Amino acid sequence: MPYTADKPPLPETPEQLRARIPGWGADLDPADRPSSPREVRGLKTGAHWDLPEQQEEHQPRERSIEHARLTPVFGTSVPLKGLSGVVRRYAYERFSEARAAHWLLLIAADRVDAVESHLASLFTRRPDNPLTETGVLAEPSYHPVRSRAGRVDVRHQILDPVIVVGPWVLAGVVVYRRVRAMVRRART
């Protein structure tokens, strides 16, 4: 059949579909759909400016070098700080979004950020707690075995704990080395 010009027959007629499915065909006309055509002028957006006013920049805001200027509005969550901040700033200042280095540095900085933040949390009144923060304590009450039956993602779910515990092991090694070096220095 695919070797002739005919379209394979459908199991149901439009009448059957209309009877079975609420709203079948309500948007039948491709030209009368909200995103058609994709680009249109003159939509009412509620904006009453040509160029939005500039949000104040209280501290130097990193930006993509593919932008000519700081955008009029930007997020101010978690400004750059620490070693991860240095790496992130370098990624933004040095490489465009077109460069793999830009994104790979940002990903690396995310890992550094996690380690830095875990270490820093040890010196606060609320150190990170992998048990409560990963939500694994919920497992027993939400059918951990039945929910996973027959799924393909179970094969790599075992990697998740490695990703979670990894930074802790790393942090532990760093702390251990530091302390050992300090002790040695104190002895000599």
Partner 1 sequence: MRAMVYRGPYKIRVEEKDLPLIEHPNDAIVRVTTAAICGSDLHLYHGLMPDTRVGSTFGHEFVGVVHEVGPSVRNLSVGDRVMVPFNIYCGTCYFCARGLYSNCHNVNPNATAVGGIYGYSHTTGGYDGAQAEYVRVPFADVGPTIVPDWMDEEDAVLCTDALATGYFGAQLADIAEGDVVVVFGAGPVGLFAARSAWLMGAGRVIVVDHIEDRLEMARSFAYAETVNFTQHKDIVVEMKRTTGWLGADRVIDAVGAEADGHLLQHVTSAKLKLQGGSPVALNWAIDSVRKGGTVSVMGAYGPIFSAVKFGDAMNKGLTLRMNQAPVKRQWPRLFEHMRNGYLTPSDIVTHRIPLEHIAEGYHIFSAKLDGCIKPLVVPGAA
- Please report, as residue ranges, which positions from 117 to 156 form the binding site for partner 1 (by CB under 8 A): 117-118, 121, 128-130, 132-139, 142-144, 147-153, 155-156
Query: In this complex, which beta carbon is closest to partner 1, that of residue 149 or of residue 186?
Result: 149
- Cα dist from 132 to 69, 120, 139, 142, 154, whole Å: 42, 18, 12, 16, 22
Q: Which of 63, 89, 90, 170 binds partner 1 (CB under 8 A)?
A: 63
Residues 84 and 106: beta-carbon distance below 8 Å: no
Residue found by looking up tokens 């992130």 in the block: 88
Q: Which of 5, 31, 56, 123 binds partner 1 (CB under 8 A)?
A: 56
Site residues for partner 1, 167-186, by CB under 8 A, read 167
Q: Which of 15, 31, 35, 123 binds partner 1 (CB under 8 A)?
A: 35
Site residues for partner 1, 89-108, by CB under 8 A, read 92, 97, 100, 103-104, 106-107
Query: In this complex, which beta carbon is closest to partner 1, that of residue 31 or of residue 183?
Result: 31
Query: In this complex, which beta carbon is closest to partner 1, that of residue 78 or of residue 186?
Result: 78
Please tell me whether residue 41 binds partner 1 under the rule CB under 8 A. Answer: yes
Please tell me whether residue 2 binds partner 1 under the rule CB under 8 A. Answer: yes
Give the nearest distance from C-beta 167 to partner 1 in angstroms. Answer: 6
Give the nearest distance from C-beta 177 to partner 1 in angstroms. Answer: 21
